[in-house]
């Protein structure tokens, strides 16, 4: 996140950062952070003035003021770039941009809320319990819902299994009944054949 790119150009003029009131629009946290860092960087550059630089390198300045000035400009430019790079690295590694935007979003969502904001009680155990108890209760309710869901699914599966077993039992009964009917038919056919063709006639032939 570049300091100069992130900031509103009007915020780079060196004016004092306005304090937010109910009648004034809130400046978002990312812009505010960059504004503070921008001012700090300007003060750092101001402290590294050419006057102090010339005093520190007096012999070089007396011998060649122009070279000293060029060296000072390069030093200030390098210092400013190094500080900006370090700041940007911290912002990126800490994911500050996304976190600050999320804070702005949460603040916007809470604007219309009439409930008092949470404040620590001063007793860490009580604060932890006030957070964990609702969380665990929510988890308990979630698990209960999941348990009821699984039980309902199991009941459906049990019913299907029972229906399947009943269907198999009916199929077995039908097969047994059909087999008995076939056996009865074969027995009747054999009796008919025996009556039409007595055994002695068969022997004589």
CA–CA distance, 57 with 71 (Å, rounded to integer) = 11
pLDDT-above-70 percentage for the chain: 82
Question: Which tokens in the block code for residue 99?
Answer: 């976190």
Q: How far is CA 202 from the centre of its chain?
A: 93
Of 8-22, 41-55, 84-98, 144-158, which gets the smallest average pLDDT? 8-22
Domain boundaries, the chain: 3-109, 129-198
Question: Phi and psi dihedrals of 8, rounded to 5?
Answer: -65, 135
Res. 90: pLDDT tops 60: yes
Q: By the 8 A CB rule, do 79 and 44 touch?
A: yes
Tell whether pTM > 0.85. Answer: no
Q: By the 8 A CB rule, do 43 and 16 touch?
A: no
Q: Residue with structure tokens 């009796």?
A: 191
- Average pLDDT along the chain: 80
Res. 143: pLDDT tops 90: yes
pLDDT number for residue 141: 94
Helix (H, G, I), strand (E, B) or coil at 122: coil
CB atoms under 10 Å from CB of 61, counted, come to 19
pLDDT in tens, 26-36: 668 888 888 88
């Amino acid at each position: 996140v570049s300091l100069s790119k992130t900031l509103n150009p009007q915020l780079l003029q060196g004016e004092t950062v306005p304090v937010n009131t109910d009648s004034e629009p809130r400046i978002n946290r990312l812009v505010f952070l960059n504004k503070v860092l921008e001012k700090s960087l300007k003060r750092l550059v101001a402290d590294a003035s050419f006057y102090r630089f010339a005093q520190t390198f007096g012999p070089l300045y007396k011998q060649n003021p122009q070279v000293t000035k060029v060296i000072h400009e390069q030093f200030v430019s390098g210092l400013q770039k190094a500080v900006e790079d370090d700041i940007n690295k911290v912002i990126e590694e800490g994911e500050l941009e996304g976190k600050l935007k999320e804070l702005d979003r949460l603040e916007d969502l809470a604007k219309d809320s009439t409930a008092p904001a949470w404040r620590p009680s001063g007793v860490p155990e009580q604060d932890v319990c006030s957070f964990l108890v609702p969380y665990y209760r929510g988890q308990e309710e979630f698990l209960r819902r999941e348990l009821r869901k699984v039980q309902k699914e199991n009941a459906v599966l049990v019913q299907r299994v029972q229906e399947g077993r009943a269907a198999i039992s009916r199929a077995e009964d039908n097969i047994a009944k059909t087999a008995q009917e076939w056996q009865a038919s074969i027995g009747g056919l054999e009796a008919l054949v025996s009556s039409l063709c007595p055994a002695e006639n068969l022997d004589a032939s």
